[in-house]
Amino acid sequence: MRRLFRSLFTTSPPPTTRTGPPNAGSHYPPVAHPPVAYPPLTAGQIRFQRFSGVRRGLDPEEVRTFLYRVADEFAEVRAELARTRTENNRIKSALRDWQSRYRPAGRV
């Protein structure tokens, strides 16, 4: 059972090829292909995540309560990120307008 559990939750790193000396100025080894991007999590996915039952495990109600708490905080962070992106776009647009209004005549 332990072997099965370990095999489910341990992954080996993808093979990489090194082109330079070790620790040549980067913290991560070069990757031959970009990492797989997972679709973003939603609060509902966190809330309704179910785990397989075990004979001796965690209290399912405590896990569910914690997941709901995490999902609520996650939803707040996502909303704040959306507001920040909107504000960032508004500021960038205002800066572009200002720059175009006050651009010197000789520059294009």
Q: What is the pLDDT of residues 10-35, one digit of tens each?
A: 555 555 555 555 555 555 555 555 55
Taken in order 35, 40, 44, 47, is the CA torsion positive or negative?
Answer: positive
pTM above 0.95, yes or no: no
Dist. CA 47–CA 49, nearest whole Å: 6
- Residue 38 pLDDT > 90, yes or no? no
Give the CA distances from residue 92 to residues 14, 15, 88, 96, in Å, rounded to whole numbers and listed in that order.
39, 41, 6, 6
Hey, what are 84's tokens?
Answer: 């920040």
Hey, what are 53's tokens?
Answer: 């039952």
